[in-house]
Amino acid sequence: MNLSFLRISIWVYLAIFFLYLLGPLVIMSVTAFNSSAFPRMTPWECLTFQWFGELFQDQRILNGIKNSLIIGAGTVVLSVAMGLAGALMLTQIWPKLRATYYTIIIAPILIPGVVLGISTLVFWDRINRMLGLGADSVLSNGIFLTVIGQSTFIASYCMLVLVARLQRYDVALTEAALDLGATHAQAFRKILLPFMRPAIASAAVLAFLASFENYNTTTFTFGEYPTLTIELAQKVRYGITPSISALAFIIVALTVFFALLNEAKLKRQELVAAARKNATVEELAGKIKLPSFFAGNVAALLVVVFGVATITVVGTATAYNPAQCIANVKEQKQLEAEQRIQELRKQREERRKQREAEEAEQGGAQSMPKPSNNSGFGNVFAPNTLGGGDEESSSEPQPSTNGGFGGAFDPNSLKTD
Amino acid sequence: MSAGVGVDLENLWIRFGDFVAVRDANVNINGGDFFSFLGPSGCGKTTILRAVSGFLDPSEGKVLIGGNDMRGIGPNKRPTALIFQNLALFPLMKVWENITFSMEIKGASARERRKRADELLDMIALPGQGDKLPSELSGGQRQRVAIARALCAEPDVLLLDEPLSALDLKLRQHMRTELREIQQRVGITFIYITHDQGEALTMSDNIAVMRAGVIDQIADGKTIYNDPNTAFAASFVGENNVFRGKIRRVMGTEAVISTNRTGDLVARISTANQGKMREGDEAMMFVRPEAFAIASDDAPGDHCVTARVKHEEFEGNVFNIFTEGDGGKEIKVSLPNVGQSFEDHTGQTIRLEYETRNAVLVPAGELAAE
C-alpha cells in the first residue's frame, strides 16, 4: 500500500511538473484560436484563424522576423567559427594555461547581456570614430553590431558544445592523415571537420536559438534593424493581442516538428546501423535490407501524424468561416450589454427618486450643483460625452450609463455608493 | 630480397625537458629488412618511431632515410607510413576510402581509388568488404585494413607501432606470419615496435633490444637469444635462469664464476664481452630452462647445479621442474617430452647439468622486470 502511494505521488508530481512546464504554452496556443479580442481561453467564443491572418499582415512583425533570421544566420556563422577556433585552441594550449584560458573564454556567459550590449555599442562606436567613419558606416550598422554583440557570448556556448566532442577526438587520426601525405589543411578538412560535424550542427542550432530569443543584448545594438523579440516587446507595451499567441503557436509547432524530425532521423540511423551489424557480408555486398521507415520508430510516426494534422488544420483554416459565429457572439454580447444597461438605468432611476425625495425634505433653499456632474475630471470619463448621444435609449442627458463597459468607468457609479 | 630504402639513426638523442627518452642511438637498418625495436613499455622505442616518421624532432643527431637527412621534413613529406598502435582508422570513412586516403590527397579519381582499394583488399584477404565502416570489422580485419592503408601510400619504409597488441593470442600469432609474408612480398623496409619478444623473434631480420632509452644490443634473433650482450637482454628475451657470482678465473672465451649457493660454475663469455671481463668482476651467468638436463652420475661438478625441487608441472610438450634458486628466484628447467617417463621429484634434491656453450656470462647488470 505504501508502495502504491509512492507510485501515485510520483505520477502526481510528474503531472504537476509537466503542467508547470507546458501549461503556459498550451494556454497560449489555445488563445490563438479564440476569437476573443483579448487573448484568453475562457469564455470560449469562436474558433478562428483570423489572428494568424492578422499576424502575417503585420509589417513590423514580418520585418522583425526577417531581421532575426539575418542576424541569426550571421551569429551562427561567426559564433560557430569562433567557438571551433576556441575549442581547438583549448586542446593545443600549454596544459598549465588551460584552466586560465578556459575561465577567460567562458567568462562572457557569466557577464550580464545588458553589459555586453552596452560595451559592444561603446567599443565599436569608439573604433568607428578612430577610423574616422561616419554614423552610416558598417561598424555602426545595427545588424553588424547585433551579430558581433550576440556572438561575444554565444561563441562561448558553441565552444562548450564543440569541446565536448573534441575531447573524444583521437589526435592519432590527424597524425595518420599527415603521415599519409595530407597537409595540415587537408587533415583538418577531411578528418577533423567531418568528425566535428554533429557537434557543429548542434552548436549552430544552439547559436541560432540563442540569437533568435536574445533581447537584452540586442536591445542596445539593433539600431535600425529591430529583431522579432524587440518588435514583440514594443508591441506588448501597447497591449497584448491574440496574434502574438498565434506567433507563439507557430514557433512552438515548428520547434516540436523539428525536434521530432531530428529524433526520427536519429532513430532511423540507429536502426540502420543495427541492421547492418546483424547482416552478413553477402547481404551487405548485395543490397542492404533497410527496415521499413516506421518499424520501431515512434518519432517518425509522430512526424507523419504531425504533418497530416498541419495539412488538415491549414485546409480547415482556408475553408472555415467563423463570421457567422462571431456575429452571433457579437449579438449575444450586445444583448448582454443592453440588459446591463437596462438594469443600471433602473437603479439610477430609483436613486434619483430617492435623492429628489431627500432634497424635498431639506428644502429648496440650498441650490447645490448636481452631484452627478461634480466629477473632478469634468465628466470626460462619462461615456456619454464620447458620442453616446445617438443612442435613442438615453432618455436622460446627464449621468447616463451605457457602452460596453457596463458603467464601470462611469465616475458616477463610484460617487453614488 | 629486393633492396629497399635503408634507415640510419646517427647519435640520436631525444629529450623531453630533463627526461632523456633516447640516449645516443646508433642504428643501421638495411633496405628491405624487417627490423624490430624490442623493449619494455617506456623504454623509448615509440619515441624513436615518431622521430623516424617525423612527428618528433631529435634533440641531437640525425635520422637518415635512404641516406638523406630528414631534419626539417614533415611527416607528410617523408617516404614513411606509420601504423598506429590503435590503428587510427578514420571512423567516418568506409574501408575503401580509408585505404585510398593517400590517393585522395593526391587528387585521384574515385574510380582509380576504388580499383586500387579492390586490389589491396584482395591482397589482405578481405575482398568485397570495401563498403563497410571500420567499426563493422573485427580486430584482425581492421588490422589488415590499416596495413593496406599504409601500403597504398607506397612508402619506402613502413613503421609499425605495436600493431598486434590489441589482438587476442590466436589472431596475433596468425598476423605475425601474415605480416612477414606481406613484408616479403612488397619488399620494403619494415620497422616494428614491440614489447613482445615472441613477435620480434619470429618476424625480424634484426632486433634492437632497448632499455630505458639505451639500445643494449642489435643483432638477429638467434644471436640475441643465444648470445646476449647484457643481463637485461638475456633476461628480457625469452625465459632465462640467472646465477650471480664473482669471476674466479678467465680462460679465453670461458670463465669460472663462484656463486654463493651452487659453488663454482663454468660458462662461456658472451661474444661482445670477450676480453673485457676480468677476475674479480661481478658477473651473471644465464642458462635457459631447456638447456638443463638431469645430470648423469659422471657429470663434472663445474657444469652442475644442485637444487631442491619445489614443484613440477606437465605442460604437454615440456615437463617443467621448478627448484629453489638464489635470491628468491626459482630455477626453471624444461625437459622436452620425448617419450621418457617423468618421475615425481617434488621435495627431492636433484643435480642438473648444462653444456658450457649454453651458459652465457655477461657483466652483472639490471634485469628485466618479470
The answer as to whether B161 is a domain residue is: yes
Instruction: Measure the CA–CA gap between A203 and A210, rounded to whole angstroms.
Output: 10
Judge if B222 and B236 occupy the same domain: no
- Report the DSSP beta bridge partners of residue A125: none
Q: Convert the pLDDT of each residue in B136-167 to its tens digit.
A: 888 888 888 998 898 888 888 999 988 887 77
Whose cell is 548542434? That residue is: A202
Q: Which residues of A touch B (CB under 8 A)?
A: 170, 172-173, 175-183, 186, 190-191, 194-195, 276-277, 281, 284-285
Last residue of a domain, one of A237, A261, A287: A237
The answer as to whether B345 is a domain residue is: yes
pLDDT at residue A400 in the model: 45
Chain A residues in contact with B88 by the CB 8 A cut-off are: 170, 172-173, 175-176
**What CATH number is given to the structural domain containing B275?**
2.40.50.100
The answer as to whether B369 is a domain residue is: no
Judge if A89 and A74 occupy the same domain: yes
The answer as to whether B15 is a domain residue is: yes
Beta strands, E only, A192-331: none
The answer as to whether A316 is a domain residue is: yes
CB contact under 8 A, B90 and A186: no
CB of A71 closer than 8 Å to CB of A223: no
Which grid coordinates are listed for A388? 453616446
Judge if A133 and A231 occupy the same domain: yes
Judge if B207 and B350 occupy the same domain: no
Last residue of a domain, one of A237, A255, A282: A237
Chain B residues in contact with A285 by the CB 8 A cut-off are: 128, 131
The answer as to whether B163 is a domain residue is: yes
Judge if A111 and A165 occupy the same domain: yes
Q: How far apart are the first and last CA of chain A?
A: 59
CA-closest candidate to residue B101, choices B34, B53, B150: B150
The answer as to whether B252 is a domain residue is: yes
Judge if B54 and B199 occupy the same domain: yes
Instruction: Measure the CA–CA gap between A85 and A74, rounded to whole angstroms.
Output: 17
ipTM of the complex in this document: 0.79
Judge if A142 and A252 occupy the same domain: no
Judge if A83 and A225 occupy the same domain: yes
Torsion on CA atoms A75, A80, A85, A88, rounded to nearest 10: 160
Which grid coordinates are listed for A233? 516587446
pLDDT band, residue A278 (cuts 50/70/90): low
Cβ count near B128 (within 10 Å): 13
CB contact under 8 A, B84 and A194: no
Cβ count near B148 (within 10 Å): 24
Q: Give the pTM.
A: 0.70
CB contact under 8 A, B82 and A284: no
Exposed / middle / buried, residue A25 (Cβ in 10 Å: 0-12, 13-18, 19+): middle
Residue A44 pLDDT greater than 80, yes or no? no
Judge if B196 and B57 occupy the same domain: yes
Last residue of a domain, one of B226, B258, B273: B226
Output DSSP code: residue A53: H
CA-closest candidate to residue A217, choices A205, A234, A229: A229
**Mean pLDDT calculated for residue range A344-368:** 80
Exposed / middle / buried, residue B176 (Cβ in 10 Å: 0-12, 13-18, 19+): middle
CB contact under 8 A, B149 and A180: yes
Q: Which amino acid is at B25?
A: A
Which grid coordinates are listed for B240? 632465462
Instruction: Measure the CA–CA gap between B84 and A172, rounded to whole angstroms.
Output: 7
Last residue of a domain, one of B175, B200, B226: B226
pLDDT at residue A1 in the model: 57
Judge if B79 and B178 occupy the same domain: yes
Q: How many domains is chain A partitioned into structurally?
A: 2
Q: How many domains is chain B partitioned into structurally?
A: 2
Judge if A267 and A287 occupy the same domain: yes
Tell me the backbone φ, ψ of residue B280, rounded to 5 degrees. 90, -10
CA-closest candidate to residue A154, choices A75, A230, A261, A92: A75
**What CATH number is given to the structural domain containing A120?**
1.10.3720.10
Which positions ≥6 away from B27 have C-beta within 8 Å?
Answer: B7, B8, B9, B35, B208, B215, B218
Torsion on CA atoms B197, B201, B206, B207, rounded to nearest 10: 10
Judge if B144 and B242 occupy the same domain: no
Kindly give the pairing relationship between strand B34-38 and strand B189-194.
Answer: parallel
Half-sphere exposure of A18 (CA within 13 A, CB side): 5
Last residue of a domain, one of B200, B226, B252: B226
Judge if A229 and A245 occupy the same domain: no
The answer as to whether B1 is a domain residue is: no
Judge if B180 and B291 occupy the same domain: no
Judge if A113 and A261 occupy the same domain: no
Helices marked H in A133-217 — which ranges? 142-166, 171-179, 184-187, 193-213
CB of A226 closer than 8 Å to CB of A61: no
The answer as to whether A387 is a domain residue is: no
CB contact under 8 A, A176 and B132: no
Tell me which of A92-96, B32-36, B356-360 is least confident. Answer: A92-96
Instruction: Measure the CA–CA gap between B49 and B39, rounded to whole angstroms.
Output: 13
Last residue of a domain, one of A237, A264, A299: A237
Q: Which residue of A has its CA nearest to B53?
A: A179
pLDDT band, residue A365 (cuts 50/70/90): low
Judge if B220 and B238 occupy the same domain: no
CB contact under 8 A, B75 and A277: no
Residue A294 pLDDT greater than 60, yes or no? no
Tell me which of A28-42, A113-127, A384-398, B221-235 is least confident. Answer: A384-398
Instruction: Measure the CA–CA gap between A120 and A126, rounded to whole angstroms.
Output: 10
Whose cell is 487573448? That residue is: A39
Judge if B141 and B57 occupy the same domain: yes
Residue B277: domain span = 231-363
CB contact under 8 A, B76 and A195: no
More confident residue, A116 or B329: A116
CB contact under 8 A, B76 and A179: yes
Cβ count near A139 (within 10 Å): 18
Distance from the B63 Cα atom to the nearest Cα atom in chain A, whole angstroms? 16
Residue A291 pLDDT greater than 70, yes or no? no
Residue A367 pLDDT greater than 70, yes or no? no
Residue B367 pLDDT greater than 60, yes or no? yes
Per cent of chain B over pLDDT 70 is: 97
Q: Which residue of B has its CA nearest to A180?
A: B102
Instruction: Measure the CA–CA gap between A264 and A71, rounded to whole angstroms.
Output: 29
The answer as to whether A348 is a domain residue is: no
CA-closest candidate to residue B165, choices B46, B59, B68: B46
Residue A330: domain span = 241-335
More confident residue, B155 or A407: B155
Whose cell is 634458486? That residue is: B325
Residue B328 pLDDT greater than 70, yes or no? no
Judge if A225 and A86 occupy the same domain: yes
The answer as to whether A292 is a domain residue is: yes
**What CATH number is given to the structural domain containing B89?**
3.40.50.300
Judge if B210 and B251 occupy the same domain: no
The answer as to whether A205 is a domain residue is: yes
Residue B2 pLDDT greater than 50, yes or no? no
Judge if B106 and B210 occupy the same domain: yes
Judge if A206 and A85 occupy the same domain: yes
Instruction: Measure the CA–CA gap between A66 and A60, rounded to whole angstroms.
Output: 10
The answer as to whether B324 is a domain residue is: yes
Of A179, A183, A190, the CB nearest to B81: A179
Judge if A125 and A167 occupy the same domain: yes
Judge if B36 and B154 occupy the same domain: yes
Q: Which residues of B touch A (CB under 8 A)?
A: 53-55, 74-76, 80-82, 84, 86, 88-92, 101-102, 104-106, 128-129, 131-132, 136, 149-150, 153
Q: Convert the pLDDT of each residue in A310-321 to its tens digit.
A: 888 777 776 677
Judge if A308 and A207 occupy the same domain: no
